[in-house]
Amino acid sequence: MATYKQLKVWQIAVSLMTEVYDLTKDNKTQKQNSEVNEQVDFGLIKEIRDCAQNIHSSIAKGAEKRSSVKFLSYLRIANSASIELDTKLRIAKDVGEIATRNLRAILDKIEEFQKMLTMLRRPLEMAVERGYGRRW
């Protein structure tokens, strides 16, 4: 098994996180909202950033467990985080919390990531079903 740094899905997840941070970094300073609205806005942006962070972190943690069952569990967490990220980005766009300038590219990258993650998960799921969830 390759280290997590060699996994293409991890590399895409790190790239995705960087793009999300770039998209959201100026959000608070660009808005001229009331103090209450700034707190709410920052909360959504923080949640978006946390989702992006969780994706690559889950892949790395799972890969280091050296068990198909545990790795698969962490890959499922990463997938759930990517779904949550996609949803929160769409909500943030709809309520005007983020600019749409790079959003389409990020949403496309999330979709690409999810497809690659599914391809990685399938053989692991089959191995676990057959009882090969031991350490590698």
Position 82 in a domain: yes
Residue 1 within any structural domain of the chain: no
Residue 45 lies in a domain: yes
- 81 close to 13: Cβ distance less than 8 angstroms: no
Considering the entire predicted model, what is its pTM? 0.84
Residuewise pLDDT in 10s, the chain (136 residues): 568 999 999 999 999 999 999 999 866 545 544 454 554 556 899 999 999 999 999 999 999 998 889 999 999 999 999 999 999 999 999 998 888 888 999 999 999 999 999 999 999 999 888 887 665 5
Domain assignment present for residue 134? The answer is no
Asked whether residue 50 is assigned to any structural domain, the reply reads: yes
**Structural domain includes residue 136:** no
| Domain assignment of residue 67, given as a range | 7-26+34-129
Q: Number of structural domains, the chain?
A: 1
**What pLDDT does 101 receive?**
83
Looking at the domain assignment, is residue 106 inside a domain? yes
**CB-CB contact of 56 with 10 (8 Å):** yes
Q: pLDDT value at position 2? A: 61
Residue 101 maps to which CATH number?
1.20.1440.60
With left for phi above 0 and alpha for psi between -120 and 50, is residue 66 left, alpha or beta?
left
